[in-house]
Amino acid sequence: MSAPAQARKSLLLGAVLVALVLPASTAAGGGITVFAAASLTNVFPRIDRAPRYSFAGSDQLALQIQQGAPADVYAAASPKYPELLYHNGLVTKPVVFATNKLVVVVPRSNPGHVTSVYDLRRPGLRVVIGDKSVPIGSYTRQILDALGITADVTKNVVSQETDVKGIIAKVALGEADAGFAYVTDAKAAGSKLRAVSLPGWAQPPIRYEVAIVKASGNQKAGRAFVKRVLSARGRLLLRRSGFGLPRARAR
């Protein structure tokens, strides 16, 4: 490949990476800061454009809150971290607001010819998963264990990412033949990727929880944000983005 062609390819890959990973943090005025799991990047600003958002791995955000970061609301892709913060007296009682499912994502051209999760056992395939400390990594390990293919797939793992956006980017850029992600992120990636379904019986329960940070000086605004997420409009936007929904809370 000529130098100019290589340069154009590098610029293209860089643009794809930026498009998939950003925004990690967005702001549009408002008075509160919402710390939210990376898999909520596309839907939360649709529900409410006003807050300042910081999207990252649920574990990273929980640690920042423990260390006193100025967050008003915390939304995670697993009950683990909100419940831990709640028991430590740092957030109000968490509320489940959405569910999700796992899929295998592959590049649109599917160079690894992956049509089933069991294909990921094939020697030479490059697989990317989430780090075990983040919900997507924990869920991935649960489903691999349920399917009985952990050892074979782990041999092919070339990267462990700190959030689902990193997984999506690596696969879209062709740096991996397949990765494990949420169905919502596969949907958001559109034509860049294709999704391979996983057996329903092996799916781990994936629940998202939201809570207000007790140290927040914007309790009223935080409660208003949570109310928007739980509202009929919020639930509709979550469902349109591919999330599942818990039963609506009785009023």
Confidence of residue 105 (pLDDT cuts 50, 70, 90): very high
In the chain, the percentage of residues whose pLDDT exceeds 90 is: 84
Angle, CA 89 vertex, CA 84 and CA 90 arms, to 5°: 80
Q: Are residues 47 and 107 in the same domain?
A: no
Does residue 247 form part of some domain? no
The span from the CA of 198 to the CA of 175, in Å, is: 22
The reported pTM is: 0.85
Q: Are residues 25 and 58 in the same domain?
A: yes
The span from the CA of 251 to the CA of 246, in Å, is: 15
| pLDDT digits 0-9 by tens, 43-65 | 999 999 999 999 999 999 999 99
Q: Find the domain containing 41 and state its range.
A: 3-99+208-240
Does residue 249 form part of some domain? no
Q: Are residues 40 and 62 in the same domain?
A: yes
Q: Are residues 93 and 213 in the same domain?
A: yes
Q: Give the domain CATH number at 51.
A: 3.40.190.10
Does residue 246 form part of some domain? no
Q: Are residues 191 and 158 in the same domain?
A: yes
108 near 193, Cβ under 8 Å?
yes
